Amino acid sequence: MEYIFSLELIYLIASVTFILGLKMLGHPETARKGNLIAAFGMTLAIFGTIFLYQGKVQPLIYSLIGAAILIGTIIGWGIAKKVGMTKMPELVSLFNGMGGASAAIIGLIEFSHYVGDQLSIATIIAGLIIGSISFSGSMIAWAKLNGTLKKPIRFPSYNIVNNIILIVILAFGVYITMSGSDSQLYLYLIFFAALAYGVLFVMPIGGADMPVVISLLNSFTGLAAAFAGFLYGNMVMLTGGILVGSAGTILTFAMCDAMNRPLASVIFGAFGEGTAGS
Amino acid sequence: MDVLIEFISNHLQMIYIVILMIFVGVEVIGHVPAVLHTPLMSGANAIHGVVIIGAILVMLSASPDDILALSLGFVAVLLGTLNVVGGFVVTDRMLEMFKKKK
């Protein structure tokens, strides 16, 4: 990737608006302005990326990008404007899942371009796993909050099973990286396994704990974005991703604190909840 | 060990950024009133929509006859836009109601 000063400058400004925006979101008087500042920085970064890209790009590709952004804006804006107050948390979960899916797709496409470059493959696989978990987990959280999935579904000893599945996925990811394999089969296998894990991870958690789970998945997506940023050496993705990853983690703990529930009992605590209920 | 040293020296700038951003993220969220938890989560959610830039880069560097990359990239840009636009708009709406209640 060529180094273009004006684009790097835009990314720098965007990164600052993210930090500033997040900071201002933490105070009631400045919160709304903070959100707008971050949105401004994001717009700048997106258009900078498109218009300052060095390299030959077919007009067809430009129109495809334009169409995708246009359709996404109309749908996203429409849903967000229409939704009622009580439906907002589930919408956040839905949008979070979209970001995760986007990160996962980047991994799916880029894998074959980086075969042989172990560090890049490791980055791609990590982003793919985290993005996929975030996507499917957020979809389940969304379905739980809007009432499609009412009761937590718990398989026998799901905690142990889930942890084993996660370890297998991680081990498989390490294997793909180390072996230098270019197998698309492996790639899609790990993609679907991560999707399944996201479902299994959120399924047993009760509806009341969903905001905490969404916050956790939110920081996952941040991490997935950061991995993609690392892959491209793209500073604004790296800063934005890590910032959300770290802020999201702290926010998750703060939310648990506010509910007087340790994080471990939210994620693994379905046992205690079951006995308390009976 | 050699691999680790090589990795660190090759990516020193990024490692600095990662470490500093972790601390910035922690500091920025400290002592936030509980009523702002949900808007803050929503705002952070919109910011990680920055992943859309990766999706745009995929599209820009794809060869025009790579239909799979183009169609997947199209979906990725679309979903990323949903994340960004929907995220910021819904955060704004949350904060708008927050103001009215006061």
CA distance A122 to B6: 16
**Residue located via tokens 């929503």:** B42
Query: How long is chain B?
Result: 102
Q: Chain B neighbours among A 176-215 (CB < 8 Å)?
A: 211, 214-215
Q: What pLDDT, in 10s, does the model give residues B43-83?
A: 999 999 999 999 999 999 998 889 999 999 999 999 999 99
Would you state the pLDDT for residue B95? Answer: 92
Asked if ipTM goes beyond 0.95, one says no
Would you state the pLDDT for residue A209? Answer: 87
Q: Chain B neighbours among A 103-132 (CB < 8 Å)?
A: 103, 105-106, 108-110, 119, 131
Would you state the pLDDT for residue A276? Answer: 34
What phi-psi label fits residue B2: left (phi over 0), alpha (psi between -120 and 50 degrees) or beta? alpha
Would you state the pLDDT for residue A269? Answer: 63
From B44, B49, B56, residue closest to A251, measured CB to CB: B44
CA distance A210 to A203: 10
pLDDT band at A275 (very low <50, low <70, confident <90, very high): very low
For the cut 80, the answer to whether the pLDDT of residue B1 exceeds it is no
Q: How many CA atoms lie within 13 A of B98 on its CB side?
A: 22
- Write the single-letter amino acid at A103: A
Furthest-apart CA pair in chain A: how many Å? 66
Q: Which carries the bigger pLDDT value, residue A146 or residue B90?
A: B90
Token representation of residue A255: 């939310």
Which chain B residues are Cβ-neighbours of A211 within 8 angstroms?
37-38, 41
**Residue located via tokens 């081990």:** A171
* Residues in contact with A184: Cβ distance below 8 Å, sequence separation at least 6, in sequence order: A111, A112
Report the pLDDT averaged over residues A75-97.
Answer: 92
Flag if B48 and A244 touch (Cβ within 8 Å): yes
Q: How many CA atoms lie within 13 A of A44 on its CB side?
A: 20
A224 at B interface, C-beta within 8 A = yes
For residue A48, the chain B residue with the least C-alpha distance is B53
Would you state the pLDDT for residue A134? Answer: 97
DSSP state of A87: G
Which chain A residues are Cβ-neighbours of B83 within 8 angstroms?
76, 95-96, 98-99, 102
Cα A122 to Cα A18, A131, A134, A179, B93, distances in angstroms? 27, 14, 18, 11, 39
CA distance A211 to A273: 17
A45-54, A148-157, A173-182: segment of lowest average pLDDT: A148-157
Would you state the pLDDT for residue A226? Answer: 96
For the cut 70, the answer to whether the pLDDT of residue B2 exceeds it is yes
Cα separation of the two ends of chain B? 58
**What percent of chain A is modeled with pLDDT above 90?**
70
What are the boundaries of each domain within chain B? 1-31, 35-102
pLDDT band at B6 (very low <50, low <70, confident <90, very high): confident
Report the pLDDT averaged over residues A70-75.
Answer: 97
A225 at B interface, C-beta within 8 A = yes
Decide if A200 contacts A164 (C-beta within 8 A).
no
Would you state the pLDDT for residue B44? Answer: 95
CA distance A76 to B83: 8
Q: What pLDDT, in 10s, does the model give residues A223-268?
A: 999 999 999 999 999 999 999 999 999 999 999 888 888 888 887 7
Would you state the pLDDT for residue B100? Answer: 61
Decide if B87 contacts B35 (C-beta within 8 A).
no
Q: How many CA atoms lie within 13 A of A243 on its CB side?
A: 30
A12-21, A159-168, A218-227: segment of lowest average pLDDT: A159-168
**What percent of chain A is modeled with pLDDT above 70?**
95
3-state DSSP of B30-84: CCCCHHHHHHHHHHHHHHHHHHHHHHHHHHHHCCCCCHHHHHHHHHHHHHHHHHH
Q: What pLDDT, in 10s, does the model give residues A14-47?
A: 999 999 999 999 998 999 999 999 999 999 999 9
Cα B72 to Cα A65, A111, A204, A223, B9, distances in angstroms? 12, 13, 31, 21, 35
